[in-house]
Structure 1
Amino acid sequence: MIAVHARYRGRETRRAELVRRSAEALATLPGVGTFEMVGVEDIRAHVMGPVETCDLIMALLSDGNWAIGLGVTQHGPAVFTATDAVGTRPAQVGVIVDTPEPATYASDIAATFLLIAHVFAKRTVEGREATSLVRRGLNQNEAAEELGISKQAMSQRLQAAGWQAEKAGWHLAVNLITQATAAAE
């Protein structure tokens, strides 16, 4: 079982409302269960599989205001493991994997998300727009047209935004979570 716990660490004054709206929006991602509200700033949910888990964590990391816990276990509800893993700093992903060799999986997954968070933190507004369109499935020509820029300008924005690093990090995270999940069975 896989679960994600997220703790809001932003500066919004109406935290409870923002966290509730975020939970509703995140629950619309494919393979993500209904979020349970835990207090005012925390939400947690079970997630279907490694791809869906990675997509959820990437969405939380791109916001930059969430401390995230990932739990992978076959012993009891994974949401409790995810809660134990959540850290205190924004854009930090804590990981607990309940396997015979948990430290290897957990530290590799956490390191991968740390690198992805670093890429996200360096992005400009234009870079966020460009990567968002491509992530939704548009090709570079379609995304450039939507933004009213040339294909060359779109390519430059994606390169400056670290799009290739994001894709590579996403694939690595999915592979590591897949291995950890298989080891936990």
Structure 2
Amino acid sequence: MFVITADQVDSRSGTDLVAAAIDAINDGKVRPVLAAERTVGDELQVLVEGGDDALEIVLRLARTGRWSVGCGAGEVATPLPRDIREATGPAFIAARRAVERAKKRSTRFALETEPATKAAADAESLIDLLLVLRSRRSPEGWELHDLLESGLNQAEAAERLGITPQAVSLRASAGELRADSAARQPLVRILDRLGSVEATPA
């Protein structure tokens, strides 16, 4: 299981983004075990089962640059309550520790298990690399990324954007879209192992 706790950055001087983020998570393609809810003030929390959903939420929140994102992997106490605010367990403890550490990191992301493990530190480092790569992407690169994620191929994306296939290839290369796509499935497999086994001390 994965608990994701996200705290809005500098919320006191900007618009409250929590409600919109909760709606986007609960109405999106992820499958929460316990729906995203506002926990305290400008913070949200969601419980998911698989590494694919955990990575999807982390990447979506991190893309905006408006969140510190902590991910806790491991066990949760059962039976599960209906409301995530009543849930407990090692993964929740890990997520709390992770979000506090994320606030001090350049990527504003951290991943933890309870107790801490080397596997979690390794996964965090790999996700950091993906987040750094994505942080350098131009708006045009993100535009192409979103079209390809919607199911279009590069030729169809070129037609939609009104540019040549060669220009699309250059944009994809500049945005490191192939490296991004290639990294995600291995990361999901790593996360799945992390979330499905009992944590062992580092």
Partner of 2:142: 128
Q: How do 1:1-185 and structure 2 match up within 5 A? A: 1-9=1-9, 13-16=13-16, 18-29=17-28, 30-32=30-32, 33-76=34-77, 77=88, 78-86=91-99, 87-89=102-104, 91-98=107-114, 102-184=116-198
Q: Tell me, in whole angstroms, the C-alpha distance in 1 between the residues paired with 2:96 and 2:164.
A: 45
1 CA distance for matches of 2:39 and 2:12? 18
**Structure 2: gaps (5+ residues):** 78-87
1:92 Cα shift?
2.1
Query: How much does 1:142 deviate?
Result: 1.4
Alpha-carbon distance, 1:20 to partner: 1.1
Q: CA deviation at 1:97?
A: 1.9
Matched residues in 2 for 1:54 and 1:176: separation? 11
For 2:27 and 2:93, the matched residues in 1 are separated by 22
Distance 1:40 1:141 in 2: 45
Does the residue aligned with 1:25 lie in a helix, a strand or coil? helix
Counterpart code for 2:9: R
* Range that drifts further, 165-174 or 74-83: 74-83
Deviations 1:54-113 (A, max 9, x none): 1111111211221111111215333343122112146322111236xx422211111112
Equivalent residues of 2:155, 2:165 under 8 A apart: yes
Residue of structure 1 equivalent to 2:81:
none
With structure 1 as the length reference, what TM-score do the two structures score?
0.88
The aligned length equals: 182
What's the RMSD between the two structures over aligned residues? 2.1
Unaligned runs of 5+ in 1: none
* TM-score (ref. length: structure 2): 0.81
Structure 1 vs Structure 2: percent identity of aligned residues? 24
Contact 2:3 2:73 in 1 (8 A): yes
- Residues 142/11 of structure 1: CA separation in 2 closer, same or farther (3 Å cut): farther
Q: CA deviation at 1:48?
A: 2.8
Deviations 1:3-27 (A, max 9, x none): 11111115684433x2211111122
Change (3 A) 1:105 1:15: farther
Looking at structure 1, the residues matched to 140 and 160 of structure 2 have their Cα atoms a distance apart, in angstroms, of 13
Name the amino acid aligned to 1:150.
T
